[in-house]
Chains A and B, each alone.
Chain A
Amino acid sequence: MAAEKQVVFRVRRYQPQGTKGPHYQDYRVPYLDDMVVLDGLNYIKDNLDPTLTFRWSCRMGICGSCGMDVNGKPRLTCGTFIKDASPRGIVQVDPLTGFNSIKDLVTDFDPFMEHLLSVKPWIIRKKEAPLSEGEYLQYPEDLDAFRQQSLCINCTLCYAACPVFQGNSHFVGPASLAMALRYIRDTRDQGADERLERLSTRNGIWECTFVGECSVVCPKEVDPAGAIQSLKVLATMRHMRKLLMPKSASR
């Protein structure tokens, strides 16, 4: 029988109804080269410890559910191979940093949901065109303007990577701000002024110090750091326009 490759999964456990605080538990997991960390966690749950709790769904990098800290780095566990994630034979799995954890690897990302909703991630029209006028036309160049930011899968890896959010959960955060830019740049949207007014606040874009780590960890290359820089430029220009020409229309 061929020798099975084995690795140790060091998983952070936490039971909410108990007196013990968060602690680590080690599991021996056999693996093949094509297995990902999520496969390892499912192996543990199926064979070793059914009480281990974690989120996952599509296992192909599109739902954004399986984000966790693997060896200290925020990763999608469905896209991280065990063979790449086990220096010294140990894979350490923690819940995403920056969020409280409800149980084991499951985080409470209500703060993220509130921040996302606060940027109004939908098309805002001052006046809806009547149906008889047909659909809003958009050219390929119009789509290119916001396409990159529209690829966000809300996995919150960027929030885990952002040291500003880690220190202050009132910061609106990378993914939400990228979504704000996605709608501001959409030619069908007319809510740029409304959003910029709300974002140009202490806990909005100005809390960001351009560390840039959010864009490094993003699995969809949304580039939230660049999006926030664009928002800062837009907000500054809008501010100057308001100061110098207060009567001119928005945008």
Chain B
Amino acid sequence: MAEEARSEFDARYNPGHEVIRVQAARKEREVVLEPLFWGLFSLGGFLTAFLLPITILALSFFVPLGFWPADRIGYEWLTSAMNPAAPNLQGLLVRAFFLLVIAGGLFHGAHRFKYMLMEAGARKHESGLGVILYGLAILGSLGALYYAVKGWIL
């Protein structure tokens, strides 16, 4: 009885020269889309880290804080800022700015939110969550693209 018990313990914890089963034997499927969305998430994070704070301050807080009068960011301002005929390509740069910040923020947030939901227990639904969240990000980015080129190409 004792020998049997000891040998079971030994087999479990003292394998000696027995080779440890390698997880490599179980091959996992390589992901196809994840690197792409990670790349967009990474880029989006990079852009939003630098460009979002000042945008939020300028659009939402400079007026109530008294830095600017309300018409400073009014309709006329945005029209002239996005004017494609403005010198030094300024109009095009402003349009690109909006596109990058919106698309970057959407893909960054979608990726993070997906991981937050997975950490909270929804691991099984990863592909479904991906379809919904990345799908929304793609739709939003296409919308931003549309508004970025409207009045210029369209």
Chains A and B in contact, CB within 8 Å: yes
Spell out A's residues near B (CB within 8 Å): 102, 110, 113-115, 117-118, 120, 167-168, 197-198, 200-204, 206, 209, 232, 235-236, 239-240
**Could you say which of B23, B29, B31 has the most chain A C-beta atoms within 10 Å of its C-beta?**
B23
User: Given the interface contacts A167-B119, A236-B38, does A114 sit within 8 Å of B31 by beta carbon?
Assistant: no
Contacts of A113 in B (CB 8 A): 20
Please determine whether B29 and A110 come into contact, CB atoms closer than 8 angstroms: no
- Of B24, B38, B123, the residue contacting A118 (CB under 8 A) is B24
Known: A236-B35, A236-B38. A201 touches B28 (CB 8 A): yes
- Give chain B interface residues in 21-50, CB to chain A under 8 Å: 21-24, 27-31, 34-36, 38-39, 42
CB of B115 closer than 8 Å to a CB of A: yes
> Within 8 Å of chain A (Cβ to Cβ): is B67?
no
Q: Is the CB of A114 within 8 A of B21?
A: yes
Inter-subunit contact A118/B31 (CB<8 Å):
no
A-B contact count (CB 8 A): 55
Could you tell me if A200 and B31 are in contact, using CB atoms closer than 8 angstroms?
yes
> Complex formed: what's the CA distance from A102 to B34 in Å?
37
Chain A: minimal CB distance from B125 (Å): 13
In the assembled complex, which residues on chain A have CB atoms less than 8 Å from the CB atom of B123? Answer: 168
How large, as a class, is the contact surface on chain B? 20 to 34
Q: Is B13 an interface residue (CB 8 A)?
A: yes
> Which chain B residues lie closer than 8 Å to A239 at the CB level?
35-36
B27 to chain A: which residues have CB within 8 Å?
A: 198
Nearest chain-B residue to A117 (Cβ)? B22
Which residues on B are within 8 Å of A, measured CB to CB? 13, 20-24, 27-31, 34-36, 38-39, 42, 115, 119, 123, 126
Main secondary structure of the interface of B (DSSP, over half): helix
In the complex, which of the residues B22, B34, B119 contacts A114, with contact meaning CB atoms closer than 8 Å? Answer: B22
Given contact pairs A114-B21, A115-B23, A200 touches B29 in the complex (Cβ within 8 A) = no
Least Cβ distance of A51 to chain B in Å?
Answer: 17
Set of chain B residues within 8 Å of A102, measured between Cβ atoms: 13
A204 proximity list for chain B (CB < 8 A): 28
- Cβ of B53 to closest chain A Cβ, rounded Å: 21
Provide the residues of chain B in CB contact with A201, threshold 8 Å.
Answer: 28-31
Whether B20 contacts A110 by the Cβ 8 Å rule is yes
Cα-based distance from A203 to B34 in the complex (angstroms): 12
Chain B residue contacts of A197, Cβ below 8 A: 30
Q: A120 CA to B36 CA in the complex, in Å?
A: 26
Contacts of B24 in A (CB 8 A): 117-118, 120, 198
18 A–B pairs (Cβ distance < 8 Å), ordered by A: A110-B20, A114-B20, A117-B20, A117-B22, A118-B24, A200-B30, A200-B31, A200-B34, A201-B28, A202-B31, A204-B28, A206-B31, A206-B35, A209-B115, A232-B35, A232-B38, A236-B35, A240-B35
Q: How far is the CB of B123 from chain A (nearest CB, A)?
A: 8
A129 to B19, alpha carbons, bound, how many Å?
A: 28
Distance, CA A120 to CA B23, complexed state (A): 11
Nearest Cβ on chain A to B139's Cβ, whole angstroms? 23
**For residue B29, which residues in chain A have a CB less than 8 angstroms away from its CB?**
201-202
| A206 lies within 8 A of B119 (CB) | no
